[in-house]
Structure 1
Amino acid sequence: MSTPPDVEDLIVHHSDSLREALECIDQTAQGICFVVDTGGRLVGVATDGDIRRGLLEGADLSDHIQSVMETDFVSLPVTTDEKDIQSRLSSKIRHIPLLDEDGRPVDYACRSKYRSIPIMEPHLGGNELSYVTECVETSWISSQGRFVEKFEDMVAEYCGVPYALAVSNGTVALHLALEALGIGEGDEVIVPDFTFAASINAILHAGATPVLVDIREDTWLLDPEATSEAITDRTKAIMPVHLYGQPCNMDEIVRIADENGLYIVEDAAEAIGSLYHGEHVGNIGDVGTFSFYGNKTITTGEGGMVLFQDEETYQYAAQLRDHGMSSSQRYWHDEVGYNYRMTNMQAAVGVAQLERIDEIVERKIQIGERYRRELSGVEGLTLPVNIDGRKNTYWLFTAVLKDEIHIERDELISKMKMNGIDLRPVFYPLHEMPPYQKYGSSHFKVSSYISYNGVSFPSSTKLRNYEISNICEALKSSLEANRIMGITK
Structure 2
Amino acid sequence: MALENLFINDNKTLIHAWKLITLNGKNIVFCVNDDNKLTGVLTDGDIRKYLLETENYHVLVKDIMNKNFVYATHKEDKVSIMTKMNSRISIIPIVNDDFILVDYFEHKIDMYIPIAIPNLGGNEFNYLMDAFLSTWISSKGDYIKRFEKGFAEFCFQNNTESYGIAVSNGTVALHLALVTLGIGPGDEVIVPDLTFAATINAVLYTGATPVIVDIEEDSWCIDPNEIEKAITPRTKAIIPVHVYGQPCNMDRIMEIAKKNNLYVVEDCAEAHGAEYKGNKVGTFGNISCFSFFANKVITTGEGGMCITSDPNLAEKMRILRDHGMSKTKRYWHDFVGFNYRMTNLQAAIGLAQLERIDFILEEKEKLEKLYREKLKKNPLISFQKNDFPERKKITWMISVLYDGDKDKLTNNFIKNNIEVRPFFYPLSDMPIYKEYARSCSVSKEISAKGLNFPTNKIVNIELIDKIDNCL
The residue type equivalent to 2:153 in the other structure is: E
- Does the CA contact (< 8 Å) of 2:364 and 2:395 recur in 1? yes
The residue type equivalent to 2:392 in the other structure is: K
In the alignment, which residue of structure 1 is the partner of 2:399?
398
- Does the CA contact (< 8 Å) of 1:169 and 1:304 recur in 2? yes
The Cα of 1:326 is off from its aligned counterpart by 0.6
Q: Which has the larger radius of gyration?
A: 1
1:414 matched to 2:411? The reply is yes
- Does the CA contact (< 8 Å) of 1:410 and 1:425 recur in 2? no
The Cα of 1:430 is off from its aligned counterpart by 0.5
Match of 1:80 among 76, 80, 83: 83
Q: Deviations over 1:361-392 (max 9, x none)?
A: 11111112221222222102221112112221
The Cα of 1:117 is off from its aligned counterpart by 1.3
Q: Deviations over 1:290-320 (max 9, x none)?
A: 0001111000000000011211111111100
TM-score with structure 2 length normalisation?
A: 0.77
Q: Structure 2: where are the runs of 5+ without partners?
A: 1-76, 93-105
The Cα of 1:410 is off from its aligned counterpart by 2.2
1:154 matched to 2:158? The reply is no
The Cα of 1:79 is off from its aligned counterpart by 6.6
The alignment partner of 2:433 has SS state of helix
For 2:428 and 2:255, the matched residues in 1 are separated by: 26
For 2:458 and 2:82, the matched residues in 1 are separated by: 30
- Does the CA contact (< 8 Å) of 2:239 and 2:265 recur in 1? yes
Q: Structure 1: where are the runs of 5+ without partners?
A: 1-73, 88-108, 480-489
TM-score with structure 1 length normalisation?
A: 0.74
Q: How does 1:215-234 map to 2 (within 5 A)?
A: 215-234=215-234
The alignment partner of 1:183 has SS state of coil
Match of 1:125 among 114, 121, 124: 121
For 2:213 and 2:163, the matched residues in 1 are separated by: 30
The residue type equivalent to 2:420 in the other structure is: L
For 2:331 and 2:109, the matched residues in 1 are separated by: 56
The alignment partner of 1:361 has SS state of helix
Instruction: Classify 1:421/1:225 alpha carbon distance in 2 versus 1 (closer, same or farther; 3 Å).
Output: same
For 2:397 and 2:146, the matched residues in 1 are separated by: 28
The alignment partner of 1:111 has SS state of coil
The Cα of 1:110 is off from its aligned counterpart by 5.9
The Cα of 1:77 is off from its aligned counterpart by 6.6
In the alignment, which residue of structure 2 is the partner of 1:463?
458
The residue type equivalent to 1:396 in the other structure is: M
Asked which structure has the greater RCO (Cα within 8 Å, sep 6+), the reply is: 1
Instruction: Classify 1:79/1:182 alpha carbon distance in 2 versus 1 (closer, same or farther; 3 Å).
Output: closer
The residue type equivalent to 1:378 in the other structure is: N
For 1:110 and 1:126, the matched residues in 2 are separated by: 27
In the alignment, which residue of structure 2 is the partner of 1:260?
260
For 1:153 and 1:440, the matched residues in 2 are separated by: 38
The alignment partner of 1:196 has SS state of coil
The alignment partner of 1:191 has SS state of strand
In the alignment, which residue of structure 1 is the partner of 2:98?
none
What RMSD over aligned residues (CA atoms) do the two structures have, in Å? 2.1
In the alignment, which residue of structure 1 is the partner of 2:354?
354
> Identity over aligned residues, as a percent?
49
The residue type equivalent to 1:445 in the other structure is: S
Tell me whether 156-165 or 311-320 shows the greater mean CA deviation.
156-165
In the alignment, which residue of structure 1 is the partner of 2:390?
389
- Does the CA contact (< 8 Å) of 1:416 and 1:474 recur in 2? no
In the alignment, which residue of structure 2 is the partner of 1:342?
342
For 1:323 and 1:204, the matched residues in 2 are separated by: 20
The alignment partner of 2:434 has SS state of helix
